[in-house]
Structure 1
């Protein structure tokens, strides 16, 4: 039974509350990367907590890359590497199937979403690089070698987009994509009607429109989009 006006007791430790207070303090005081923060003892006294509890909370911030210790300056705010932190925890074997499905779908959406960036930033040299990859893929003797060049083709598209965050995010999601490919019942490309090959995608990049490429990539990944429910 849910009673109106009664809030549940937060299941938080003291260190959790200190961490939240520090987040609010850094944000409200507009701390920026490179700014020094008060000493551990000053923060502990201001919050009325022990130095041990404050030290544990600050250690969490250091682990996340939000603060670091500098010689002769004490602790300073740093720009956290969000994707590096994600890499540390993105283990497919530790994630729920629903979470894996969400990441899997996100990767597919990104594959379509970079089309606009590709058409703004692609060069003749980029097209040549893609053609060389396709030649190597077609000449591959084994399934493993073909897969290697398939991955290289898509990784190169991310590089052409010119967005380093998207490129790194693609590499971060690769273990999830591989895991889902091995877990789900994915039809082979040969079984997919209207399949668009890498070679055709390159031709679209040369002469087609952004929407042509987006539609081509959708057909290229059709067997994966079929897994979205």
Structure 2
């Protein structure tokens, strides 16, 4: 390995360290979201590294959404979009089968815990929405319609929680969930209804409680749990 290659590795390592130390520095100094940060030269002196290393580390933080450059204010600390980076790479065609399987399991975990958030927030209008989806399902004759309505039903459950992070995460995971199901060729065959149907889940939401809903949705997903390896 030549000297130039060695120097390149060292430079990258210093930038990695500077990125981590900058995050620690901002926390230690008590900077809050919206605060203006010191200039590059001041940060370089504080961390004992060159200005070029600081510039590259700050560029990384900006890509992560942790900082931004504002007109007449300079560089400010910003609240990152915690799901943004994941959203850009959650393409089932870019992920390995083991990762897809683990994400599939995460989706099942989320569904199992929905009951505690649904019961305090569900309204008659929500139940009507779910009833309408169930009626459409009963009239559906093809796989594409059943898949579409299945997605709509579960997306509606997440929307009822009123939690925008949870809703967005479910939307991100849906292509992964469907990809695994299609790959394993086990679910969404017309006529192969689960033991506990969507209609049963709506009845449980009307008359049950978080514990009974958890039991019902576990039974609804029994075929899905069979895919866990």
By the TM > 0.5 criterion, same fold? Answer: yes
Q: Would the alpha carbon gap of residues 11 and 131 (structure 1) be closer, same or farther in structure 2, given more than 3 Å must change? A: farther
Q: Distance in 2 between matches of 1:83 and 1:180?
A: 21
Q: For residues 128-207 of structure 1, what are the structure 2 equivalents within 5 Å?
A: 128-187=128-187, 195-207=195-207
Q: Would the alpha carbon gap of residues 71 and 188 (structure 1) be closer, same or farther in structure 2, given more than 3 Å must change? A: closer
Q: Distance in 2 between matches of 1:169 and 1:132?
A: 25
Structure 1: any 5+ residue segments left out of the alignment?
Answer: 1-9
Q: Distance in 2 between matches of 1:218 and 1:48?
A: 55
Which residue in the other structure is 2:113 paired with? 113
Give deviations 1:46-90, integer Å, cap 9, x for gaps.
223332221111111111111111111111111111111210122
CA contact (8 A) 2:118 2:157 kept: yes
Q: Distance in 2 between matches of 1:162 and 1:47?
A: 43
Q: Distance in 2 between matches of 1:97 and 1:11?
A: 35
The CA RMSD over aligned residues, in Å, is 2.1
Give the TM-score taking structure 2 as reference length: 0.88
- Alignment of 1:42 with 2:42, yes or no, is yes
CA contact (8 A) 1:188 1:223 kept: no
CA contact (8 A) 2:181 2:187 kept: no
Shift of 1:124: 0.7
Q: Distance in 2 between matches of 1:203 and 1:220?
A: 13
- Alignment of 1:59 with 2:63, yes or no, is no
Give deviations 1:81-112, integer Å, cap 9, x for gaps.
11112101222233333222221111101001
Give the TM-score taking structure 1 as reference length: 0.88
Shift of 1:188: 5.3
Q: Distance in 2 between matches of 1:90 and 1:188?
A: 22
CA contact (8 A) 2:133 2:152 kept: yes
- Aligned partner of residue 120 in structure 1, secondary structure: coil
Q: Distance in 2 between matches of 1:41 and 1:28?
A: 19
Which residue in the other structure is 2:218 paired with? 218
Aligned residues: 219
Shift of 1:186: 2.2
Q: Distance in 1 between matches of 2:92 and 2:174?
A: 10
- Aligned partner of residue 69 in structure 1, secondary structure: strand
Structure 2: any 5+ residue segments left out of the alignment?
Answer: 1-9
Q: Distance in 2 between matches of 1:88 and 1:152?
A: 23
Give deviations 1:104-124, integer Å, cap 9, x for gaps.
111101001011111111111
